[in-house]
Structure 1
Amino acid sequence: MKMKVQSYCIFLLLFLILFTSPKPVLSDDTSFNDDVLGLIVFKAGLDDPKGKLSSWNEDDLTPCNWDGVDCDLSTKRVNSLVLDGFSLSGHVDRGLLRLQNLKILSLARNNFTGTINPDLPSSLGGLQVVDFSDNNLSGSIPEGFFNQCGSLRTVSFAKNNLTGKVPDSLSSCSTLVNVNFSYNQISGILPSGVWFLRAIQSFDLSNNLLEGEIPEGIKNLYDLRELNLQNNHFSGKIPEEIGGCLVLKSVDLSGNFLSGELPESMQRLTSCTSLSLQRNSLTGTIPDWIGGLKSLEILDLSANELSGWIPKSLGNLDSLLRLNLSRNQFTRNLPFSMANCSKLSTFDISQNEFSGHIPWWIFIMGLQGSPFHDLEVLDLSSNAFSGELPYGIGNLSSLQVLNVSGNNISGSIPVTIGELKSLYILDLSDNKINGSIPSEIQGASSLSELRLQRNFLSGRIPAEIDKCSSLTSLILSHNKLTGSIPASIANLTNLQYVDLSWNEVSGGLPKELTNLSHLLGFNVSYNQLQGELPVGGFFNTISPSSVSGNSLLCGSVVNQSCPSDHPKPIVLNPNSSSSNSSISAQNRHHKIILSISALIAIGAAAFIAVGVVAITVLNIHVRNSMARSAAQFAFSGGEDYSGSPENDPNYGKLVMFSGDADFADGAHNLLNKDSEIGRGGFGVVYRTVLRDGHSVAIKKLTVSSLIKSQDDFEREVKNLGKVRHQNLVTLEGYYWTSSLQLLIYEYLSKGSLHKLLHDDNNSKDVFSWRQRFRIILGMAKGLAHLHQMDIIHYNLKSTNVLIDCSSEAKIGDYGLVKLLPMLDHCVLSSKIQSALGYMAPEFACRTVKITEKCDVYGFGILVLEVVTGRRPVEYMEDDVVVLCDMVRGALEEGKVEQCVDGRLLGNFAAEEAIPVIKLGLICASQVPSNRPDMAEVINILELIQCPSEGQEELE
């Protein structure tokens, strides 16, 4: 305590010296100079958990040798303070104003809070660079910050929690070259004065809440090289005069509400390398002048309302690396001139109206090999292409994703498919492909997803499929496959989803399938299978619908006992003439029967013993593997795991956004079965305890093969880690290796809303009406915050809503779909297929855009579930009850009050309950446009809430 008092007194003294003296009282001769004093005061107000500022010693005569500090060689004064990624927290203290020669101030990637000091540029006249990006600053950008900005050239407040508007004073800072306010919650219109920043080269206001039209005047920015306004709410047309920015290299206006055609002035942007206009409402055709933008490397016009033919001039863009024209209304076929775009790595024209044969020129061999030898993603899905898959498909040696689903492709699968060694997603579903699945497919050893459903394939499932050891999804349903299921499938230890339904597969299910420990779905319904269902693992809880339509299958799941195979009984002839010989023969036969019975018993016992030993060995092996993974996870200590990524396959990285990753229970208890508390479409959840007694929930992701690269994964997870709201489960950290990804969440002991509503063990602890209303309002606020941050949940259900000790609702598992490489319907449906009853109708239609309104639908179902206490879909003996339909019918009959959970015994506010039920039905409308926004939902709920009930509990 005495030391703390002394430190506080020293800090107070320094503060008084700094900010009460009319002029510096310490000369360069003393033990403190201005820079030392200012930095020590700055440090005194910080939390430095990693000791990054340990070299900052108040007894030093100069700070020039301190970590993060650089000085001018001639003046010996501090001119640069760069503390990026030091894990510091606290406020940006006024002590920095003492650094009168400071030119560069960079505090990026820390945890600084509070507001932005408006006096920084004016007090430090020589300041040129200010970078506060990737912190937790709040409030608005102060007008005064740019009023006297001196020589300020670069300013970045990206990735904070800033609100308010873009300050008008920004236009007066004529020296600015780089401005970055991205990833905040800045709203309002964009001031037209920003186009007076004649020196500006990079302007990034992406991922905010800006609205209105993009103002005129952008042609004044002669030096503008990068313009990024993506993911805002801008409307109107793209400024016609944008072509006046002749040196523009990158334009990103995606994710807005822009309309109209591409302005003709854009043809003057001949230096442009990246043009991203996706997810708007642009109309018209692709103009012929597009071929004049010879520098283009990225062209993304996806998810608009463009139509017509693709101009031949597009083939002039021989520098193109990524071309995305998906989700438009383009027709006819692609021009042959596009064969010149030989550098393409991503080629996506899915969800259009293209017809004719698949462009053969994609697969031909030239003098330098395939013209598309760098092609990694080829997506031609959801068009009207016909013809056969070219034999030359094997020439695309770099191909990773091939999707031609939803066309009219016929013929057989080329055997050259096995030459695609890098391929990890192959989707040929929804076509007219015939023939058999070639055994050569084993050559595509990197395959993670194989989707061949809804074709006319015949023959057997090749046993060689087990060579594709990375397979997680094997979807072969709705074909004409025959033969038995090869036992070799059990060797695919990463399998999560198998669908062989609606084929003509026969024989029994291999017992070895029980070894598939990651299995989440296995559907063999409507085949000709027979015999006993496997017992153990996933098959102990398999749904009856997954094996229905196989009349000769037996087992408890199908409610049909299997026939016993007992030896026939011995019947003695009572009319035998020789009783002695008969007795003798009977005795001999009895001895033989006893011997056989004894052998059978011994054999069975031996078999069981071997099985027990084998299972024990397997368990030990699995536990040891998990312990090794957990040990690696537990003791990496926030730094890179010892070893190198080149030599160590277990190389990993643990990052905690706050606190210390010290686990009290040790590594061996992290990911074992005993600590498992839940599982879902994205992974298994375990509980562990930190050294300070704080419990956390660890989600082990089971979508490793679909996860993005480490950089993309870390960027997305860090963004999710910044999401903070009282009605959202907090992401506290993550762990990464190429084969294991863990997400670390706060732990809520009361469990999920589903458990508390539907678990019979909790029948004595029934939610009161007031608690239910608070849960509904809390879910609405949490979901509204996600939508405000442009995050769609996609998987909203009662198991993903957790309840804390104060009966406050917290939504979890948000944003996980962003970790996947593509947000298409196939990936979404495979991840959220467990959300039966919560999924909006638009998920069933591949051509409908998935928006926040699908979350609103799931919220509506949750509202009805909370009020009624019933599941979204309930299976009765003779019927299936859909909650939404039941409540709507009761409303039409004037009996809606009877739908309220009977466990409340009439103890609820009918004047609240009935409007809440109606709100739930409106949110669950079949038509997305009829559903309200979540902000509107909150307003409605607050209006519904009775004033007299707002502060007290209804018992």
Structure 2
Amino acid sequence: MRKLVSQYILLTLSILRLFSSCKSSSSLSPSLNDDVLGLIVFKADIKDPSGKLASWNEDDDSPCGWKGIKCNPRSNRVSELNFDRFSLSGKLGRGLLQLQSLRRLSLSKNNLTGSFTPALVRLSNLRVLDLSENSLSGEMPPDFFRKCGPLRIVNLANNKFTGKIPKSLSSCVGISVLDLSANQFSGSLPSGIWGLHGLRSLDLSSNQLSDEIPKGIDGLYNLRTIDLSRNQLTGRIPGDIGGCSMLKSLDFSCNSLSGGLPISFLNLSFIGYLNVGENSFEGQVPEWIGGMQGLENLDLSVNNFTGVLPTSLGKLRSLKVLNMSVNGLRGSLPESMAGCLSLQVIDFRRNRLTGDLPQWIFKVGLQEILLSENKISGTMNDSISSAEKVSHQSLGVLDLSHNVLSGAIPLSLGNFSSLGFLNLSKNSFSGPIPTNVGELKALAIFDVSENQLNGSIPSEIGNATKLQELILQKNFIEGRIPTSLEHCSSLSILILSHNSLEGPIPLALSKLADLQVVDLSFNDLNGAMPKQLENLQHLNSFNISHNNIQGELPGGFFNTISPSSVLGNPSLCGSVTKRSCSTVLPKPIVLNPNSTTDATLGSSLPPKFVQKKNLLSISSFIAIGAAAVIVIGVIAITVLNLRVRASAARSAAALALSNDDDFSHSPSNDANSGKLVIFSGEPDFSTGTHALLNKDCELGRGGFGAVYRTVLQNGRPVAIKKLTVSSLVKSQEDFEREVKKLGKIRHPNLVTLEGYYWTQSLQLLIYDYISAGSLHKHLHEGSGGNFLSWNDRFSIIVGMAKGLSHLHQLNVIHYNLKSSNILIDGLGDAKVGDFGLARLLPMLDRYTLSSKIQSALGYMAPEFACRTVKITEKCDVYGFGVLVLEVVTGKRPVEYMEDDVVVLCEMVRGALEEGKVEECVDEQLQGEYPVEEVIPVMKLGLICTSQVPSNRPGMREVVNILELIRCPLESQESG
């Protein structure tokens, strides 16, 4: 449509040109019309959701007052288009061709798509071309830059261009800024690029460029910055790099460059930033590096440099950041580095440095000291006691982990008021934790794990109110967990395992709302767990194994944790421990359909832990009495049902005998006359209504009624659901209003509601008939004829996800997800059925819902058992997660054994924790499946079945995740 509009406007432009040329005089110049109509054509080809171009009017004499437009004051012609951050989308159209005086085109930070060709913009006139941060794609033609004499700035960064960089770029001799970063350009660097002598900034980073860097780079004698990082370049850095004498910033990181650093670097007297990290450079760090005295940031990390550090590093008085991590450097840090008075960050992680901590390290005012994973020895006392006040105020990160430091942790650490990250783990520190650790008001991460610390956790630690991670594992710490931790309101990780802590788990932990990971295992803790811990909404892990915890586990999250997290507590009870508590209350989520007693009584013992009972207790007598009452109730309900069926049969018989005219009438007081509505306008229904009384045509039964197959007079089969009368709305107006809403929902992965029939005693829903049956049949009934390959299963999972996502966008909750409500059509596509029927219930409450969808047991989200938790679309996400696991494993959501109940979610989660998740995959697949897809899909299913609703993703997010699992590269490219 937009193409037709732009073609129409171009035709109008041609007519106006002809008209104006035939007139002896005109109030508008032809060139002025060109600019106005050219911009109108440009607008017709794009989408403007923010209305930034709403003021553009094709009847205006001049566009010079339009938003985003600038004109040359002399010629009154459009000279600049600046539409940065206008939220525009669509493709660049031919309207730009009319702007013959355009000098600047800036469309950055929009969502423009399609390819970009020279025909769209006259490069021969442009000085600035900025199309960065869009979604433009395709290869650039070889002659793209053929006519670009005036061009000074080209920025095409952050798009999706592919292919080689055009050789015609060498024609742009006047260009000063070239940014083609963050695209997918491949091949070699065009050698002609070094002939652009006016180039001041060159950024080709984050592409797929390969081969060696060609010689001749010294021709860029005006170059200030060059960035070739994150490519696939090989070979050595050209020795003539020193010819770029004006260079201030050089970044060749994240390539496969090798050899040594060229000594011509010394000629770069203005260089301030030098980054060659993540390559394969080797040899010693050269002594001449100290001659680059203008350096402020030097990054040689993740290479193969060896040997000792040169003492000349001390000459780099302007140096602020020094990163030589992940190399093979030996020896100690040279004392000469005390001369680096501007130094702020040193990073020597993962080397082979030895010796003591030098005293200068706490004197020069460093902000970050990163020396982990070396072999530094000695104590901290001498070096830290000599710290200057400047260090007390500046040091924010101190990481000395994984060395061989010993002695006590100095009390003087409490003087570093800005310290936010302190990691001393995996050393040989001894003695107590300093009591003044609480004076570190900025401390967020405190890790002293795997040392030889003793004493107790100081109560003063509660004064470190910004603490987020406290990690003290594998020490010899005694005493109680301090209650003062309740003041650390941001604490999310608490790991105190493998110590000698005693006493109860303090109630204070239940006040830490952000807690995610807690590990208290292998201690001597005792007492009962505070029940208030079940209110923590963000818990992912809580390990109390190998203690002496007693009593009952809290509810909520603690009903879902791994059994390994509670092992070694013989007096602990609860569902996860497989030891029942005398006070455990039933959970009405999973019932055993094979046990009449349990089903009748509404027993809700946790499904995996149903136990045999050999003695008749008081509760048994109560149960027997309750059963007797229920039996009487069942008999009464049966009598009522017989009357209802008789009434329904009479109504159905009347329906079968009626003609089309009868259906068009509104319902009368006669119970045997009804109203039929077919949304598609096909009233040929009466011939098939006999099927409602024919058991042979019954397709199945569910919580909302029975389903039958029948055929219209035109031969088209339909499925008819005869709704259970006793619990649906009795008001015809309410019924029709809700059903018509459902009838408007159309999606390829949803079963279409074709119409309905209403009387006071009989309500029918007419659906499109899906020929291949239900997912339940394919997974659990029949043999090889219903075999589903992995591709079939993945397609079904995606189809279910898309159908549910569409429902949730329309604010429709399914409530009744199960494999029998997922139908498979003749093409193998999944279609979600029975959606929205809960809206027909007279009261949408948990009791009514649970009574209507008992056949969905195992799919029901745990919040159905908690009246204080709101039921939302996250209930559907839970059921979807169970369906995902059912499709992958081929197992039912709940399987009842003689002495046990196996819940699918728990089984898969346990297998994943034990590293045996592949054993859960359906045996029918016989290894014929891609592990890189199956395992992530199973993990997605587990995430969707999180006990906490807020932890489950939305269905739209689920669809995106599934697309990423199937086509990770394509998903990244489209993001």
Shorter-chain TM range is 0.5 to 0.7
**486 and 920 in structure 1: CA distance in 2 versus 1, 3 angstrom threshold:** closer
Query: Any residues of structure 2 matched to 1:29-428 within 5 Å, and which?
Result: 29-30=28-29, 32-119=32-119, 123-341=122-340, 343-363=342-362, 364=384, 369-371=389-391, 373-428=393-448
Q: Is this contact kept in 1: 2:518–2:543, CA < 8 A?
A: yes
Partner of 2:550: 531
Q: How far does residue 435 in structure 1 lie from its aligned partner after superposition? A: 3.5
Shift of 1:325: 2.6
Contact 1:376 1:398 in 2 (8 A): yes
Looking at structure 2, the residues matched to 5 and 400 of structure 1 have their Cα atoms a distance apart, in angstroms, of: 58
2:353 counterpart letter in structure 1:
F
Deviations 1:646-690 (A, max 9, x none): xxxxxxxxxxxxxxxxxxxxxxxxxxxxxxxxxxxxxxxxxxx9x
Amino acid at match of 1:556: S
Deviation at 1:105, TM superposition (A): 0.6
1:520 aligns with 2:540: yes
Following superposition, the deviation at residue 127 of structure 1 comes to: 1.1
Paired position in structure 1 for 2:476 = 456
Q: What is the Cα deviation at residue 24 of structure 1?
A: 12
Alignment-mate amino acid for residue 487 of structure 2: K
Contact 2:149 2:173 in 1 (8 A): no
> 1:145-191 CA distances to partner (integer Å, 9 max, x unpaired)?
21111211111111111111111111221111111111111111212
Quote how far apart the aligned CAs of 1:62 are.
1.7
Q: How does 1:499-648 map to 2 (within 5 A)?
A: 499-527=519-547, 529-562=548-581
Partner of residue 846, structure 1: none
1:11 pairs with 2:13:
no
Number of residues paired by the alignment? 642
SS of 1:75's partner is coil
Within 5 Å, which residues of 2 pair with 1:623-702? none
The secondary structure found in structure 1 opposite 2:118 is coil
Query: Which runs of 5 or more residues in structure 2 are unaligned?
Result: 363-383, 585-740, 748-773, 798-822, 831-883, 893-903, 936-964, 968-975
Residue 195 of structure 1 and its aligned partner are, at CA, apart by 1.3
SS at match of 2:178: strand
Secondary structure, counterpart of 2:211 in structure 1: strand
Matched position secondary structure for 1:498: strand
1:498 aligns with 2:496: no
On the 8 A contact 1:531/1:562 being kept in 2, the answer is: no
CA distance, structure 2, for counterparts of residue 417 and residue 290 of structure 1 = 40
User: How far apart, CA to CA, are the structure 1 residues paired with 2:416 and 2:279?
Assistant: 32
Letter in 1 for 2:104: I
Question: Structure 1 residues 902 and 57 mapped into 2: Cα distance closer, same or farther (>3 Å)?
Answer: same
> Partner of 1:772 in structure 2?
790
Is the contact made by 1:869 and 1:900 (CA closer than 8 Å) also made in structure 2? no
The separation in 1 between residues aligned to 2:910 and 2:46, in whole angstroms, is 65
Q: State the distance in 2 between where 1:90 and 1:876 align.
A: 45
CA contact (8 A) 1:290 1:314 kept: yes
| Structure 2: distance between partners of 1:497 and 1:766 | 45
Deviation at 1:42, TM superposition (A): 1.1
Residues 181, 203 of structure 2: 8 Å contact kept = yes
What letter corresponds to residue 479 of structure 1 in structure 2? N
Given that 2:205 and 2:231 are in contact with CA atoms closer than 8 Å, whether structure 1 keeps it comes out as: yes
Aligned ranges 1:911-922 → 2 under 5 Å: none
Deviation (angstroms), 1:493:
0.8
SS in 2 for 1:323: strand
Change (3 A) 1:511 1:916: closer
* Correspondence for 1:646: none
- Aligned partner letter, 1:555: G
Partner of 2:617: none
Distance 2:52 2:249 in 1: 37
1:271-318 CA-to-partner distances (Å, cap 9, x unmatched) read 222222222222223223333333333333322222323333334434
**Separation in 2, partners of 1:900, 1:519:** 28
Give the direction of change, closer, same or farther, for the CA distance of 1:436–1:882 in structure 2 (3 Å limit): closer
- Structure (1 or 2) with the larger CA radius of gyration: 2
Taking the aligned partners of 1:879 and 1:10, their CA distance within structure 2 comes to 61
More displaced, 338-347 or 177-186? 338-347
Distance in 1 between the 2:61 and 2:455 partners? Answer: 83
Q: Deviations over 1:569-613 (max 9, x none)?
A: xxxxxxxxxxxxxxxxxxxxxxxxxxxxxxxxxxxxxxxxxxxxx
Q: Which residue of 2 aligns with 1:814?
A: none
For the 8 Å contact 2:278–2:301, the answer to whether it is kept is yes
1:486 partnered with 2:517: no
Deviations 1:98-132, CA, capped at 9 Å, x for gaps: 222222110011111111122466x3533111011
* Letter paired with 2:790: R
Question: Is the 8 Å Cα contact of residues 400 and 425 (structure 1) preserved in structure 2?
Answer: yes
Residues 873 and 880, structure 1, Cα contact 8 Å, conserved in 2: no
> 2:203–2:227: 8 Å Cα contact kept in structure 1?
yes
> Using the alignment, how far apart are the partners of 1:541 and 1:180 within structure 2?
52
Q: Secondary structure at the match of 1:255?
A: coil
In structure 2, the CA distance between the partners of 1:356 and 1:35, relative to structure 1 (3 Å rule), is: same
Deviations 1:774-808 (A, max 9, x none): 678999xxxxxxxxxxxxxxxxxxxxxxx999989
Look up the equivalent residue of 2:453 and give its one-letter code.
I
Mark the CA change 1:766 to 1:279 in structure 2 (over 3 Å): closer, same or farther: farther
Superposition deviation, residue 267 in structure 1:
3.0
Aligned partner of 1:483: which letter? G
CA gap 1:545/1:470 in 2 versus in 1, 3 angstroms: same
* Percent of aligned pairs with the same amino acid: 46
Secondary structure at 1:459 match in 2: coil
Residue type of the alignment partner of 2:198:
A
Deviation for aligned residue 1:79? 1.7
1:552 aligned partner, one-letter code: S
Q: Deviations over 1:20-79 (max 9, x none)?
A: 999999978349433222212211211111110112121222212111111222322222
Q: State the match for 1:625 in structure 2.
A: none
2:488 paired residue number: 468
What CA deviation, in whole Å up to 9, does each residue of 1:480-526 have, x standing for no partner?
Answer: 33333222121111101111112233333222222212111101112
Quote the Cα distance in structure 2 between the aligned partners of 1:372 and 1:313: 27
Q: Secondary structure at the match of 2:558?
A: helix
For 1:79 and 1:289, locate their aligned partners in 2 and report how far apart those are by CA, in whole Å: 51
- The alignment partner of 2:283 has SS state of coil
CA root-mean-square deviation: 4.6
Name whichever of 455-464 and 356-365 sits farther off.
356-365
Q: Cα offset for 1:352? A: 2.4
Whichever residue aligns with residue 174 of structure 1, its letter is V
The 3 A distance-change label for structure 1 pair 7 and 901 is closer
Does the CA contact (< 8 Å) of 2:888 and 2:934 recur in 1? Answer: no
Q: Say whether the 8 Å CA contact 2:178–2:203 is kept in structure 1.
A: yes
Separation in structure 1 between the aligned mates of residue 787 and residue 174 of structure 2, nearest angstrom: 60
- Alpha-carbon separation, structure 1, partners of 2:412 and 2:824: 58
Q: Deviations over 1:502-555 (max 9, x none)?
A: 22333332222222121111011122x232133222112222211111223233
Aligned 8 A contact 1:114 1:137 in 2: yes
Equivalent pair of 1:873/1:881 in contact (CA under 8 Å): no
Structure 1 pair 297/43, CA: closer, same or farther in 2 (3 Å)? same
